[in-house]
């Protein structure tokens, strides 16, 4: 759950930026560091597929933090981030045995 908490912290920073608010949770660099540290725990305890999905989601978040755009909702980086988050969640659900039917997402 550390990975999801760290990922959610990055999502909060990105949402705050998009809304023009100040950084609500500390420095961006600290948030990125926490994300990559938490991702390492996923690599240690999860299957290759779940670890790879976490890697790709973390990369999408990292890229979005570094190259965020003024209108983030229309950015291709935003779409990639959403796709990677969905892929990670579905892979993790499958590994935990709670997968079953894929969760439906708005816009998919």
Q: What percent of the chain has pLDDT over 90?
A: 31
Q: Which of 2-11, 35-44, 67-76, 81-90 has the lowest mean pLDDT?
A: 67-76
- What average pLDDT does this structure show over 81-92? 91
* 18-23-25-27 Cα dihedral, nearest 10 degrees: 120
- What is the pTM (predicted TM-score) of this model? 0.71
Do the Cβ atoms of 84 and 60 come closer than 8 Å?
yes
């Amino acid at each position: 759950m550390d990975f999801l908490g760290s990922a959610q912290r990055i999502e909060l920073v990105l949402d705050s930026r998009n809304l023009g608010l100040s950084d609500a949770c500390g420095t961006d660099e600290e948030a990125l560091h926490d994300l990559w540290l938490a991702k390492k725990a996923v690599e240690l305890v999860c299957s290759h597929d779940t670890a790879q999905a976490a890697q790709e989601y973390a990369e999408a978040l990292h890229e979005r933090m570094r190259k965020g755009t003024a209108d983030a909702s229309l950015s291709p980086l935003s779409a990639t981030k959403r796709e990677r988050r969905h892929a990670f969640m579905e892979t993790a659900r499958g590994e935990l045995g709670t997968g079953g039917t894929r969760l439906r997402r708005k816009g998919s």
